[in-house]
Every structure is written in C-alpha cells, then in structure tokens.
Amino acid sequence: MTPRALALPLLLLPLACRASDAGPAPGVWTPLFNGRDLAGWTPKIRGHSPGDNFADTFRVEDGLLSVRYDGYGGRFEDRFGHLFYDVPFSRYRLRVEYRFVGEQLPDGPGWAWRNSGVMLHGQTPESMRLDQEFPVSIEAQLLGGDGTNPRPTANLCTPGTNVVMDEALVLRHCVDSSSESYHGDRWVSVELVVLGGEGIEHIVEGASALRYQAPQLDERDADARRLLADAGLLLTGGTISLQSESHPIDFRRVEIQVLP
C-alpha cells in the first residue's frame, strides 16, 4: 500500500454535487432515454456551448439514441462530444446496451476506432471549458473488436481522476477489464454498479469484469484542480454522460436503478 493510499480516509471529503431529489424513484429500473427525443439530456461538444448539438451529432433514429457524423463534412477535427443526463446521481446501477456501426471519420484518432464510453461521477457541461475535450469523470470505456485480436470492453479510463485498486492509488490513465472481446455490430450489455465514493463495478453480459474503489479528483490535472475549489477530493456523485469520439454508435437501452 502506498503512503498516498494510506492517507485516503483523512484526505477525502464529500463532493458538493449530490444526487438530486428529482428524477427516478429508488429501487425501480427507470429508462433515462425515452426512445423519442433527447428530452432530459444536454450535449456538450468541444468548441461549442452546452446545449449546442453541433451537426445533430446526438439524435434519435428508429427508437435508438445514435451518435452520427454525416454533418461533419468528412472531418472530425477533435470535436469530442458528450451527452449529459440533466440529473446527477450518487448510488445506482446503470445499464446500457450499445453497438458500433459504420465507419470512423478518417481523421479520428486511431485509438478512437470503435471506441466510446459512459462517463460517471462527472462534472456538469456548464462547468467545462469551451475547448475541453472530456469532462472530469470516471469513464467506463466501451470498445468493439476488430474481428481477430483481443479487445476487452468496459475498461476504466480516468480523465482528471484517479481510483484505488488493491489498496494502491492508480495513476495510469486506463485499466483493461477482464471481459471478452465483442466483434462486429452486435449489441453488448454493460451494467455499472456505482456506490458513491465507495467503489464502482463493471459488469459485461452478466459477468463481473472490473472493480475499483475511492474514485477521486486528480490534483495533477488542471480541470480537476478547478473543481477542487468547490469540492473535496473524493467523488461521491455527479453527472452521467455518453461519448462521441468519431466512430458511430447506437444505444438502445439506457436505464437506471437508484439505490437507497
């Protein structure tokens, strides 16, 4: 155990952003996406103000919540985007079903091929800088396979954050899960069990794939340091958002069970 990890209980303070009294009732699985429109969600795309859904990036088609780039003129130009649910949460189970489709924009980063994510314990879109690429958050990274090589999904990435695993503070940006690889355009089910500041578990197709504890802000990150002025180090709640990273993706289920 590192000295930093030993000191965690003394350093961690509650995050100011708590779960709202509005929204889904505890203990009931509730859809966050109504299948008709983006009511209850706010887009934030790099270079654009919150609420500006540039080029109709996030849309509803055939009952699916889809991320598309047909209005980008063939160039992604690092316009990373996120679609934020308007109510923050702290302790909950979140289920999403996703599939990758089509082709990535040609100038999208190589690592972003069949790559998206669900951001947990995130900052609000209004608190992001105009040109900020990713919200400070905990990311459950969603990946698709290339048909041959292993490529697990529901990995952990940490924009502006850190976590604790095996009683040690993890400073690297991404940690692979133990999930299988899912190739082609098939639907994949991921469940995320989020217990405030205690810990988070990633479950893929019913099998536990990754666990970690004490999600917290990373004092090395400039955007995280801005948030520290109004919150403690420990992340006990925040926004949920879905990513746009240059490869088209569909979501057919986004539902939550708030835990008492």
**pLDDT tens for residues 90-120?**
999 999 999 999 999 999 999 999 999 999 9
- pLDDT number for residue 4: 36
Say how many domains are in the chain.
1
- pLDDT number for residue 22: 60
Q: Dmax of the chain from CA atoms?
A: 52
Contact present, 124 and 239 (Cβ < 8 Å): yes
Among residues 60, 44, 40, 61, the alpha carbon closest in space to that of 52 is found at 44
Residue 6 has pLDDT above 50, yes or no: no
Residue range 229-252: mean pLDDT, rounded: 95
Residue range 30-36: mean pLDDT, rounded: 96
- pLDDT number for residue 99: 98
Contact present, 80 and 133 (Cβ < 8 Å): yes
What six digits make up the tokens of 260?
Answer: 């008492």
Q: How far, in Å, CA of 203 to CA of 188, rounded?
A: 11
For residue 131, what pLDDT band results from cuts at 50, 70 and 90? very high
Residue 3 has pLDDT above 50, yes or no: no
Q: What is the pLDDT of residues 205-238, one digit of tens each?
A: 999 999 999 999 999 999 999 999 888 899 999 9
Q: What is the pLDDT of residues 149-186, one digit of tens each?
A: 999 999 999 999 999 999 999 999 999 999 999 999 99
CATH number where 91 lies: 2.60.120.560
Neighbours of 83 (CB within 10 A): 25
Q: How far, in Å, CA of 20 to CA of 217, rounded?
A: 21
Q: What DSSP line would sit under the chain, residue for residue?
A: --HHHHTHHHH----S----SSSSPTTSEEESS-SS--TTEEEEETTS-TT--GGG-EEEETTEEEE--TTTTT--TT--EEEEESS-BSEEEEEEEEEE-S---TTS-GGGTTEEEEEEEEPPGGGS-TT-SS-SSEEEEEE-B-SSS--BSSEEE-TTEEEEETTEEE-SSEE--SPPB-BTT--EEEEEEEETTTEEEEEETTEEEEEEEEEEE-TTSHHHHHHHTTS-SB---BEEEEEE-SS-EEEEEEEEEE--
Q: What percentage of residues in the chain have a pLDDT greater than 70?
A: 92
Range of 126's domain? 3-258
Q: What is the pLDDT of residues 144-156, one digit of tens each?
A: 999 999 999 999 9
Q: What is the pLDDT of residues 66-82, one digit of tens each?
A: 999 999 999 999 999 99
Angle in degrees, CA 68, 70, 72, rounded to 5: 100
Q: What percentage of residues in the chain have a pLDDT greater than 90?
A: 88
pTM above 0.85, yes or no: yes
For residue 23, what pLDDT band results from cuts at 50, 70 and 90? confident
Residue range 240-246: mean pLDDT, rounded: 98
